[in-house]
Amino acid sequence: MTGHAPAHDSCPWDTAWDTAERIPHHDRVRLTERDGSRYVLKVARPSTPLEHEATVARCAADVRVDNRPIADRSLRADSAMLVTACDPTAESLHDRLLRRWEAPPLTGVGRALAAMHGHRAPVRLPDARPERPRFFPLTPEQHAAMPIGTVQVLRVLDEHRDARDLLETAAARPPKARTLVHGDCKPDNIRLRRDGSVLFIDWELGGAGDPIEDLAGAVGALIAVSVQDRLATAGPTAADIGRALSEGMNRAWECVATMLAAYADAGAEVADLDDLVLLTAVKVLCRAQVQAALMGKVGATAHVLLQAALAITRNRDRVAGLLR
């Protein structure tokens, strides 16, 4: 949904919006420069003020690992706009992994997640809003509003009823804990500073929630990034695509193991491995639906990610062993 700059022309940040640098696929976020420094501007959706994200991000900025905050404080945080300083030397975990796939950066991610989940917020946080996939049946209104690619994913998923039922049950799982969570732990939202510390951005889905949601989100996103990267150089045959799926998933586990080991070493624990496995499959299904929505069909990427989600549900014991 396209964002609109709020109508407070007396504020210099508002006037900066029109000339700020656009970011592809992020209509509500732009970059601007002032006095030699760069800043991120984020405006509200027309129907959703930014108080939720501002409150959660403010709390997260109090969490520190080695005296470095895991979130930046906003220079402006109100219902209309968030303004945050941008460190131009920081790199997204997504870009780092695509440049060189290696596990060590995930140590910092695990430690940062442990600090986040162990933080006692001084204020009552709003509920987190974890990402969830769609399932049939749909209301006529939902069907009309849903991208055709997402509907096609649901049709394919319905051919695998046992896996579909497991995924739907996992997606409906109520939270079993309430801590500070990020809510959208994709590598795009995790930045690595030059000193090796970790910074989380985009707290829109965060709040008080179950920490296993963050872990599943991170694991699922790592699988998706690795599989998509392998798929980009795979051949056109079914065997090539199957090999890309297998290699992508296998490569992701080293990063996942490093992250979870650091999480445990920092004193945090995974409450339920079975829940983590199934929620990971749910998050991979989310990525498949997003890809299908972007492409307008179940293309190769969405199909392979759907197969990854199904593979996790069918090999739950093996996956749980990899996560131990």
Q: In tens digits, what is the pLDDT along the chain, a chain of 324 residues?
A: 344 444 443 467 878 898 999 998 889 999 999 888 899 999 988 777 798 999 999 999 999 999 999 999 888 888 889 999 999 899 999 999 999 999 999 999 999 999 999 999 878 899 999 999 999 999 999 999 999 999 999 999 999 999 999 999 999 999 999 999 999 999 999 999 999 999 999 999 999 999 999 999 999 999 999 999 999 999 999 999 999 999 999 999 999 999 999 999 999 999 899 999 999 999 999 999 999 998 888 888 999 999 999 999 999 999 999 988
Same domain, yes or no, for 103 and 77? no
Instruction: Answer whether residue 6 is part of any domain.
Output: no
Give dist(CA 3, CA 208) in Å, integer.
26
Instruction: Answer whether residue 275 is part of any domain.
Output: yes
Distance in angstroms between the alpha carbons of the first and the last residue of the chain: 40
The parent domain of residue 40 ranges over 12-86
DSSP class of residue 103 equals S
Q: Judge whether 226 and 249 are in contact, CB under 8 Å.
A: yes
- Among 64, 86, 108, the domain boundary falls at 86
- Among 52, 68, 86, the domain boundary falls at 86
* Total domains present in the chain: 2
Of 219, 215, 279, 301, the residue nearest 253 (C-alpha): 219
Instruction: Answer whether residue 310 is part of any domain.
Output: yes
Instruction: Answer whether residue 293 is part of any domain.
Output: yes
Whole-structure pTM over 0.85, yes or no?
yes
Q: What are residue 190's DSSP bridge partners? A: 200
- Among 86, 115, 150, the domain boundary falls at 86
